[in-house]
Structure 1
Amino acid sequence: MAKMTDDTADRLRAALSRAGAESSDFDLNPDTVLPPNRRLRPAGVLVPIDLTGAQPRVILTKRSSALKHHPGQIAFPGGKQEESDADVTAAALREAREEIGLPPDLPQILGHLPSHETVTGFTVTPVLAVLEHRFDARPEPGEVDEIFSVPLAHVTDPARFRVESRRWRGHRRHYFIVPYGPYYIWGATARILRGLADRLDT
């Protein structure tokens, strides 16, 4: 188990060291023209890799279907940076504690993936971390319907990703998906995972 943990952490650190561009919800839609003076709000999401089982797994959430924004979507734990947060890493850890009950001192932070711009006006910094100890996962009532995990090997295999599209605000929008069982992982979450997959595949 210790060797698998070390090997996975080493692979992830190597992936972080490779060059890579920022991404956005628009980068599969080259005709999109974004306002040059737009103001983006900072946010952080935790990409927690659970190393406590037989294989590394990524912890994800299914957002509550009652939420106003992104109801029922698959997401990393995280959210916007508040004034009380020292930085986006602190925001990601705070939100992970609130959303899934993850103690903030448990994740071993490896670093940041390039930021991702969302259609909702955030610049999201993915904070990559590994978990070497189990914790009592608890979904935040009213925010999270389900906490689940998927194999890291599945969501970092470029062959598992597809591009789909739908109409959004009168335009055809294309986006990545990487489905797993009953879970339709798409949008920003899939795009961030695709960026990690590209680095691990190099």
Structure 2
Amino acid sequence: MHFVHTKKPKKIDMKLQYITALALALGLASCSEKPEQANAPEVTTATTGLASLLVTDAQADAFSIAKLRTSAKVGDDVVFSGKIIGSATVFIEGRAIMVMGDPEKITSCDLHPGDSCTTPWDVCCDDLDVIKNSIVTVQVVDADGKPLKQGFRNVGGIKELSKLVVSGKVAEGSNEANMLINATSLFVVK
């Protein structure tokens, strides 16, 4: 009896691309230091740096993330709105990196009636192609282009499921699978 190797369905390939893109974003955050404890408040002198990016008025004419992904290119200055949703892990502890999604295109678990997901900001019920085209990775970098060594959580009230308007620039390394934004200002929608 012979077994024939068959090609995996396209849906699995897309999931692999999504996981690879997320791993790339997580890889940017790796270092030899111990990460901060997940429940510890992120209060350091660096927090002042991220807090300085907070603005009191949202910039007008913000794009949706889905529209941004179809039109923006590396080096473009952009303004977009979205929600901190997209996967089970949306913040990189100890690094100024987070995942944002387009709430018009993907639905977080907290909005599914009866869903008892322990990570309500995840979008695991949505189609992988839609997820891929509806998320961005947002980061704040230092002068060397490395993500700041502090997290976004709790800065200006930012947390999972927060809605934000972000101004920034599409970063080098962005590609079809992962759009990376270097943020220059953040407006937290109340």
More strand by percentage: 1
Higher Rg: 2
Q: TM-score, normalising length from structure 1?
A: 0.29
Q: TM-score, normalising length from structure 2?
A: 0.30
